[in-house]
Amino acid sequence: MMKPVWRHSVPSWHISTARSIQPGWVLGAILLLAMLLLEVWQQSAVASLSLRAGTANDQLKRTSNELEWTRAQLDRNATRAEVGSLAFSAGVRPGDAAQVVGLPSDYLE
């Protein structure tokens, strides 16, 4: 003999709580996804700034080296008279009169 099973009548529009999507979980998943996207965006921004800083640093070094090379070229091409006038205007003088040595003009060329 079979036992009768008692079932409660449930309206068709009523969804059981076991199968329903909980709004709290959906909100939590959306917030987690937003935080992860924000973290990725921040890492991307930091990487971009680091790349720009590295490029600017390389350009600064390159420009500094070009400036040093140009100054060296100017120093090599300077005549004795130009160097003497620069030294005099900067206040550079020999420490002793015996340190003054006369050289022929073609010696430095």
pTM over 0.85: no
pLDDT in tens, 50-93: 999 999 999 999 999 999 999 888 888 877 777 777 777 887 77
What pLDDT does 19 receive?
62
Burial 3-34 (b: 16+ CB within 10 A, else e): eeeeeeeeeeeeeeeeeeeeeeeeeeeeeeee
Tell the residue number behind the tokens 């003088």, with chain if given.
Answer: 93
Report long-range pairs for 106-109 (Cβ below 8 Å, ≥24 apart). Answer: 108/80
